[in-house]
Amino acid sequence: MASAASAQLLSTFYDTSCPDALSTIRRVVTAAVRSEPRMGASLVRLHFHDCFVDGCDGSVLLADTGSFVGEQGAAPNAGSIRGMNVIDNAKTQVEAVCKQTVSCADILAVAARDSVIALGGPSWIVPLGRRDSTTASKTNAENDLPPPSSDLQGLTTKFSNKGLSITDMVALSGAHTIGQSQCKNFRDRIYNDTNIDTAFATSLKANCPQLTGSGDSSLAPLDRTSPNAFDNAYYSNLLSQKGLLHSDQVLFNGGSTDNTVRSFASNPAAFGSAFATAMVNMGNIAPKTGTQGQIRFSCSKVNS
C-alpha cells in the first residue's frame, strides 16, 4: 500500500505550480507553535487522525454541520482535536500566492513535519500531491483510530491494517513525547493498572478524580520530563513505567516491542530516523491523486 502510494506522490509536486507553498506553510506553523508549543502536538495528531481514516485526504478537516456529522464528531475527535484554525490560516496564506493549487491534505502533512522541527525534532522530505476528499466518515473514525485503552495486539492490528510495521507503530507512538491528554483517557490507567510507577500515578490523581464525569478534561503532559521538546524521553518514561496512557505502556510490558523501546530510549538518532521514516509511510496511506477528490477552497468545507 505505502510503496504504491509513494510512487504517486512527489516531493517536487508544487515546485513549478506553487514554489512558495512550503515556505508559506512553515512560516504559519512556526509562529503558531512558538506562541503555543502544545499546538505542535495538536497538528501532528490532526495529520495522524486524517491519515488513519480513509487515507491522508483532509477529511478530518471537514467541519460538522447541522445535517452532517463527519470525523470531527466521532468519539476519538470530539472535544479533543484542535489546530484546524492553524491549517485554515496556512490555507488562506497559500491561496494568496497560488489560487486553488495546494490541497488541505498536503498542507496538513507539511504542517505536521514543520511542527516536529519547531519543537526540536527530526526533519524529513514530505511527498506531495494528495487531493482533498469530498466526504468524511464518523463510523470509520470510530473504527480505525486506536483508543488509549488499546492493548499491544489491538494497536498492532490497527497499524497493520494501514500498511504500517510494528517499528513504525512504536516510532509513531513516540509523538507522545509532546502534547497533553485528558483525564478521561488515563483515569483507568492511574487507578487500575499495576504496571505504573506508584508515585507517578499518585501525582496524577490530584487533577484526575476517580469518579467518571469529574475532571474528565483535565490535562496532563504525555511526557512529563520534557513536554515541549521533541526528544526520546517518551521511551525512557516507558522503561520506568511512567507511560501516561495504557496504550503507551503496553509498548514496554514484557512483549514483542520491548527491545524497540529500549533501542529508542538509548539512541535518540535511531528514534529520529525511525520516526521520520514512519511519518512518510503514514503520509502515504491511501492518498487521493490525479482526478480523485478536489482541491478545496476552504479546508473546512467541500467546494460548492
Distance of CA 183 to the CA centre of its chain: 19
Is 57 annotated to bind a ligand? Reply is: yes
177 a known binding residue? Answer: yes
Question: Is 231 annotated as contributing to ligand binding?
Answer: yes
> Is 50 known to sit in a ligand binding site?
yes
CA-CA distance, 45 to 262, in Å (whole number)?
24
CA 129-117-61 angle, to 5 degrees, is: 45
- Decide if 49 is catalytic: yes
Q: Please name which of 121, 91, 125, 95 lies closest in space to residue 108, comparing C-alpha atoms.
A: 91
- Any known ligand binding at 37? no
97 assigned binding-site residue: no
- Residue 238 · residue 259 · CB < 8 Å: no
Q: What angle do CA 62, 64, 70 make, to 5 degrees?
A: 70
Task: Report d(CA 66, CA 227) in Å as an integer.
Answer: 37
The Cα-based distances of 153 to 167, 184, 274 in angstroms read: 14, 22, 21
Annotated ligand binding at 176? The verdict is yes
20 is known to lie in a ligand binding site: no
Is 168 annotated to bind a ligand? Reply is: no
From 47, 49, 246, 296, the catalytic residue: 49
Binding site members: 50, 53, 55, 57, 59, 71, 146, 176-177, 223, 231
Active site residues: 49
Annotated binding-site residue numbers for substrate: 146
Annotated binding site for heme b: 176
